[in-house]
Structure 1
Amino acid sequence: MKTTYKILASFCALYSGVALSNAANSGNGLPPLSLDVEQVTVSGLSSGGYMATQFHIAHSDWVKGAGIIAAGPYYCAQNDITTALNQCVNKVDAPINLDALSSVAIDYANEGSIAPLAGLKDAKVWLFHGTNDVRVTAQASDLLYRQYQSWTDTQNIVYVNDQSAAHHFPTLNEGSNCSVSESPFIGNCNYDTAGNMLNHLLPYLTAPDDSVSGKVYTISQQKLAGSDGETLAEKGFVFVPENCASGESCRLHISFHGCNQYAEVVGNSYVTKTGINRWADDNNIVVLYPQTKKSLFMPLNPQGCWDWWGYTSDDYANRKGAQISAVANMIKGINTGAINKETTNTGTANND
């Protein structure tokens, strides 16, 4: 218990610039939550997959697992949109130098801009690339697999690349035809991506029933993230199981949508139809769904993608990056129950 409180206190201190007060309870009245911030997991599709990788590597000291759908290696774009388009999505015009990309992560770790890479050794990693995906090449996805192999015990990595899915989030029975990539980029593939992914990242899960009793709450990303949230939408979403809303300690999963998949374009489809909530509901997992927004001016982001090529700053892929900082600030903001518990128990914990 003492260790838990100390880690939580350190986590809170790291992001102490964000005011909690009423921010976490904005929107639809998010209940006080007590989240385990030592074992956070992330996932994402396409640009959200790139962001999930960046967030994982930036914070691997407390982000312990990542599920990546249709994305390439860390720092693939090398802070350049031309490189991103020519090497990291639907074509690879020149060979990708994986050693050079990984060396950037080594430099970031040495300067403290990301967590020590040794923290990735025991991480759980689940990767997916559909055989009908023509938006992100299999070559790029393969390189992400190789990159994680250099950092993570291979027994902890699962790479699914034999499913005939297009460029979308495959599900058991939601979305468009599995062979088609179209808005809202959720595919009816008779394949439980959410279940397979979460069961690898978080073993010993209970199989879900047919009903979902938890609720989706709206949060103010701008209030929680402060100036770091300028490139994000005003509203984000949090799925909260009933037990978590009642004050039980719960795990946290963060799911990053893809380009053209933010709520202003697809409504609640990504937040409610991937199958993640179905598994989270019966396993005390709170799910944070942060949201981007499109921009037709600088910083230019017409498709509402997460920043994986540098439109926010040169630090987009490390802890200094605005979007990575913004999401970390959101976690602190919604974790009011645990923060209140830490405040109440500080004296006792320090004497354990």
Structure 2
Amino acid sequence: MAFNFIRAAAAGAALALCAAGGASAAVNLPALKIDTTQTTVSGLSAGGFMAVQLHVAYSATFAKGAGVVAGGPFYCAEGSIVNATGRCMASPAGIPTSTLVSTTNTWASQGLIDPVANLQASKVYLFSGTLDSVVKPGVMDALRTYYNSFVPAANVVYKKDIAAEHAMVTDDYGNGCSTKGAPYVSDCNFDLAGAMLQHLYGTLNARNNATLPTGNYIEFNQSQFITNHGMATTGWAYIPQACQAGGSATCRLHVVLHGCKQNISDVQQQYVRNTGYNRWADTNNIVMLYPQTSTAATNSCFDWWGYDNANYAKKSGPQMVAIKAMVDQISSGGGTTNPPTNPALPAPTGVNTSGATASSMVVGWGAVSGAASYNVYRNTNKVNALPVSGTSYTDTGLAASTSYSWTVRAADANGAEGATSAAASGTTLAAPGGGATCTTATNYAHVQAGRATQTGGYAYAKGSNQNMGLWNVFVTTTLKQTSPNYYVIGTCP
């Protein structure tokens, strides 16, 4: 049964009394066994904007994916409070999505954020309540459009059919679904945390609906990682018993970011304990990390418009650096960084190479029973950004007259890999045309390699200035170098 506002407030007061009377002193964040390939992030409102910032800027860390509730595109505010409260909340028609995509690509090429290619295999879950009067649904529509440039459409779920106000939605706790107000958690008969986590991670064990062990909650010392900058001296985490220090399990990590006016000082532990995340964490060995802002932060918000630092959206932003350091610390207990394995899947056989050009090679193999997809490795490095559904893959961007070696692994529906195949070798052809070289790659890769330039979100061949189309990781172009620093669109004979 839904909690009404009075009951929710009473529950919050009870939690506050519990925290004041029985909580132990904050501890240093422990080092746990975390599979760092399984780290994800989500957030509501300001936390949603911050989740996007972390997902994009630290895409090597959060490559698995992100969940966003009532957030918006990366760098939406462009350092302006006017933009933040205007186009990024109330007037989404003014959001310059193509400019934000261009900024993302530029910063990635400059090393200010991680390479956008890391986002190609990400899962993204988006939620917007139809009644949201704080961050209008059109802002989330713009976020969906923004992600179109980096994440395959099949990897994105966008749920926007629930009549919810501005809140984290649950199926059994909080205000009425159409209510806007503290603690900004609403009972809409929908388990948003569960839907989000199951999209990010795949099939999960049923959640724990019983009372969760009090000892699984810890208050940790955030001042290990940051002092001031709008961050509190302590944060919170939920650590399932199997994941606690000294345990044998290797666990996953999900970072949860509260919205404005939702930190511990504002709503006590209601966001930490009653948003539904921990029930799923408990039965699926997922550690939940809840960084906290302080009351010194503007409206207790995470910095998504520059109130603390002009570099707020980059890897160098103080709050960004701090949260990344928390992730690194809690993940430093010896967990694996390798993909999960499925010993039931045998190694693909018949791996071969064919169709060599000066810059590409086709790798083929025999089908494996039970495989949902395949991954291809060149000289031990995985080369396919997305799972390969067929039994061949064209590896591009290779150097002319160069020998390479490829192996293949089958993967199940959850991405767990089987045994590694025997290697197949191949040599690319010599550059044709008396030294002319053709390179087939994404427009993003061409710009990074100096074969093209970008302006206004489009890529242009260097020298000839031919328009190659959108500057992103999905559009592929073949460029022919006809003289030093001069490229044209075309093919080599």
**2:306 match:** 310
Q: Which runs of 5+ in 2 are unaligned?
A: 1-23, 338-493
Does structure 1 conserve the Cα–Cα contact (< 8 Å) formed by 2:28 and 2:221?
no
Letter matched to residue 111 of structure 1? Q
Matches within 5 A, 1:85-164: 85-92=85-92, 95-164=94-163
**1:17 match:** none
1:167-193 per-position Cα deviation (integer Å, ceiling 9, x unaligned)? 000001101111101101000110000
Q: Distance in 1 between matches of 2:305 and 2:30?
A: 35
Q: Which runs of 5+ in 1 are unaligned?
A: 1-24, 296-300, 343-352
Q: Alpha carbon RMSD of aligned pairs, Å?
A: 1.9
Larger radius of gyration: 2
Q: TM-score scaled to structure 2, two decimals?
A: 0.60
Q: What secondary structure sits across from 2:86 in the alignment? A: helix
**1:250 match:** 251
Matches within 5 A, 1:1-352: 27-28=26-27, 32-63=31-62, 64-92=64-92, 95-211=94-210, 212-213=212-213, 215-223=216-224, 225-227=225-227, 230-245=229-244, 246-295=247-296, 301-338=297-334
* Relative contact order higher in (CA < 8 Å, ≥ 6 apart): 1
Q: How many percent identity over aligned positions?
A: 40
Q: Distance in 1 between matches of 2:166 and 2:150?
A: 27
Letter matched to residue 312 of structure 1? D
Q: Distance in 1 between matches of 2:132 and 2:332?
A: 40
1:122-173 per-position Cα deviation (integer Å, ceiling 9, x unaligned)? 1000000001111111111100001111110100000001111110000011
Letter matched to residue 315 of structure 1? N
Does structure 2 conserve the Cα–Cα contact (< 8 Å) formed by 1:222 and 1:230?
no
Q: Distance in 1 between matches of 2:226 and 2:208?
A: 38
Deviation of 1:204 (Å): 1.8
Letter matched to residue 312 of structure 2? Y
Q: What secondary structure sits across from 1:133 in the alignment? A: coil
1:269-319 per-position Cα deviation (integer Å, ceiling 9, x unaligned)? 000000000001000000100000122xxxxx4311010001122211110
Kindly indicate which of the two structures has a greater share of residues assigned to helix: 1
Q: What secondary structure sits across from 2:66 in the alignment? A: strand
Does structure 1 conserve the Cα–Cα contact (< 8 Å) formed by 2:272 and 2:290?
yes
Q: Distance in 1 between matches of 2:102 and 2:29?
A: 41
**Residue 272 to residue 107, structure 1, CA distance change in 2 (3 Å):** same
Does structure 2 conserve the Cα–Cα contact (< 8 Å) formed by 1:34 and 1:336?
yes
Deviation of 1:73 (Å): 1.0
Q: Distance in 1 between matches of 2:172 and 2:90?
A: 27
Kindly indicate which of the two structures has a greater share of residues assigned to strand: 2
Deviation of 1:60 (Å): 1.1
Q: Distance in 2 between matches of 1:314 and 1:173?
A: 40
Q: Distance in 2 between matches of 1:226 and 1:142?
A: 34
Letter matched to residue 78 of structure 1? E
